[in-house]
Chain A
Amino acid sequence: MELSAEVVSSLFDPVNLLFMVLGVAGGIIVGALPGLTATMALALMLPFTFSMDPEAALIMLGGIYIGAIYGGSISAILINTPGTPSSIATTFDGYPLARKGKAEHALVTAAFSSGVGGILGGLALLFFSPMLAKLALQFGPPEFFWIALFGLTIIATLSTGSVLKGFIGGAFGMLISTIGIAPIGGESRFTFGFAPLQGGLDLIVVLIGLFCIPEVIAMVEKRDLSGKASLHRRTKGAARSMIGQLVKKPALFFRSSVVGIITGIIPGAGGNVASLLSYDVTVRLSRDKSTFGQGNPEGVAASETSNNAEVGGSLIPLLSLGIPGAPPAAVLLGALMIQGITPGPDLYSRYPDLVFLFIWAFILANGVMFLLGFFGARYVGQIINLPTHYLAPVIVMLSVVGSYAIRNNLLDVIMMVGFGVFGYWAKRWGFEPAPIVLGLILGPIAEAGLTQSMLMGQAQGSVWGVFVTRPVTLMLILLCVLSLLWPILGRIRRGAKPSDRDQGGSDDASVHR
């Protein structure tokens, strides 16, 4: 917590500031490109940090991390493709806003929320690290299993169409997540002897395929007379009025940040889940649920606040224990090791100045990111004004390149297109991409949690006992039950008026939500 003279002077050192701004800007760009994630952006910069001072290296990497997580919202809003998996929930309301011509509103909301979330995450990192790091260790295999299950209960909230089809989608997502070598059993599943499939399906490939391609195809089909996908009218003062509205909702930001920070602390849960959880909580607690999914800025705010807060959260176990809370944090770990610094329990005592400099620079970087996002929103929003015959090929091209760049694997590109076509037809049948992707994300967590816990249980004499006897587990089970019963409780409270989400058989064959 010390703000020693050295830390302050290093913080405002022009070289460090320059690296910070470059990092944030670069991160935003990379995050905005579909297929390129925060992890990749960090990995790209990793070799350059070799020759830099540890301070500058960390500051730049921190800037990239936070910039990339924000950048993901840009493509999520404009083309319904989460630029990074942590922005999946931003598409739910961000894209509808863009389609209504309010892209700038959405982008400003995202920038502001990301900034707030990131700062709160950084503050948690600064003040609550020791306490929260202990929390990280409380999560073991049984807890992971219940977290995954809890995550799956969100599917009901996410489905604006048929909830049953949502759950089918989720189950399907979990099934395809098993393709490849079993993490616990070691045998390969569903590979049909085809070696490249051993690596399984990459999340981002499926993400791009399911979220982006169907929209592009629909965009091409639905082209209106001017040849444009939608019209972005620049309203004067939109940005400022948006901020005015957002500032009136501190509870939303605080709550979303907390969700993000806690999710970030838990290694393995990852930022992908943070935005979805926060979105879910916000929807459940709001008075008018039907506006969500149609373009309610609060949805964007909830999602973006938590995924940036998660960044700070993921750094807590990294700096306190040497355990990265999310894949990008793992690359940061590598960067530290290249510098000869091994993060571990004694990092704070061995390199206090470096650690605090990094944390403060991280907080500052969020401000930089907000400014860039705020002022850039009006320009960026106009991208969707390009006529469809230019926009569609560019998006497809970026999708192809992006999906190739993930693992340098052509199979991924084929998968992406395959899932794209699949997603297009699935939409016609009433299946939305979000539950499938959620299943894909949570499947491995649930599986590892399940099998590891079973092994632990066998050793303790009771295979299933281990799932229900630990304090954190019990709390999570309670959350699951609450989550499932919530809609029913809500209905009881509101009287006999049925919500129109639960009609299992109804779904329209039109492609858009």
Chain B
Amino acid sequence: MRRSIGKECVLALLVTATGTFALWETWDLNPLSAIFPQTVGGILAGLGLFHLVGSLLRPVVEQRNGAGGRRRGLLLIASMAVYVVLIPMIGFLMATLMFTGFTVWALQGGKVEPPRRVGRAVLFSIAISTGCFLLFRYVFLVPFPAGIWGSWGSGLL
């Protein structure tokens, strides 16, 4: 029981802390710039305290999630992060190819034979990444970042 109370309490404290931070950070702005963030910060802090009191008085039972799924979820998050970091480094098209290829391959884990996995992944990734890139770059005219290797990713300059 104590663990459940702890979780909500921590949350409530976080909320209160955020509100207080807002108040503190905007302290030296001129009144017109500060009034709204301070009001909202105050409300946030107040709600946090309210929740703190509430969670102390009403302990909550927690539910657990399936563990296997979690790993896939985290894998996706990690590959998304890497993708975003790669875009300015090697250009949009390259990064997208790598991301989609990797993710399609990785998400099939456990059900499909390796050679087919790779095959599917590569083909799908090329098709969808190139298609999307062409659509956005030439139809919607979005200037993608070129990356340090120059124009491979953007095709603009």
Contact = CB atoms under 8 A, between A and B. Distances in A.
A and B touch in the complex (CB under 8 A): yes
Nearest to B26: A189
Interface string B77-92: 1001101100110001
A447 B33 CA distance: 9
A408 B65 contact: no
B17 interface: no
Contacts of A184: 32-33
Given A189-B37, A217-B73, A392-B76, A451 B66 contact: no
Interface in A467-513: 504-511
Nearest to B75: A220
Contacts of A218: 73
A351 interface: no
Interface string A30-44: 100000100010001
B69 A396 contact: no
Interface string B118-157: 0000001100110010001000111111000000000000
B52 to A, nearest CB: 11
A227 interface: yes
A217 B76 contact: yes
A397 B51 contact: no
Contacts of A167: 47
A400 B25 contact: no
B40 A398 contact: no
B31 interface: yes
Nearest to B59: A505
Interface stretch (A90-98, A122-130, A170-178, A288-296): A170-178
Contacts of A185: 29-34
Contact of A397 (B29, B41, B96, B108): B96
A60 B74 CA distance: 44
Interface in B85-112: 87-88, 92, 96, 99-100, 103-104, 107-108, 111
A414 B40 CA distance: 25
A168 B12 CA distance: 10
A217 B32 CA distance: 41
A186 interface: yes
Contacts of B65: 221, 509-511
Contacts of B141: 44
A220 B40 contact: no
Contacts of A6: none
Nearest to B47: A168
A401 B63 contact: no
B37 A164 contact: no
B47 to A, nearest CB: 5
Contacts of A417: 80-81, 84
Contacts of A182: 29, 32-33, 36
A447 B36 contact: yes
Contacts of B8: 505
A75 to B, nearest CB: 15
B9 to A, nearest CB: 11
Contact of A221 (B11, B33, B72): B72
B102 to A, nearest CB: 9
Contact of B108 (A175, A222, A389, A511): A389
Contacts of A410: 87-88, 145
B47 A171 contact: yes
25 contacts: A171-B47, A172-B18, A172-B44, A178-B37, A187-B29, A190-B22, A220-B73, A221-B72, A227-B108, A388-B107, A392-B103, A394-B128, A400-B80, A400-B96, A401-B132, A404-B142, A405-B140, A413-B84, A414-B84, A417-B84, A504-B51, A504-B54, A505-B57, A505-B58, A507-B60
Interface of B: 8, 11, 15, 18-19, 22, 25-26, 29-37, 40-41, 43-44, 47-48, 50-51, 54-55, 57-58, 60, 62-66, 69-70, 72-73, 75-77, 80-81, 83-84, 87-88, 92, 96, 99-100, 103-104, 107-108, 111, 124-125, 128-129, 132, 136, 140-145
Given A396-B76, A413-B84, A510-B63, 20 more contacts: A36-B140, A172-B15, A182-B33, A186-B32, A187-B33, A190-B25, A190-B37, A217-B77, A220-B69, A221-B69, A221-B70, A397-B100, A400-B96, A401-B96, A401-B136, A417-B84, A505-B8, A505-B54, A505-B57, A509-B64
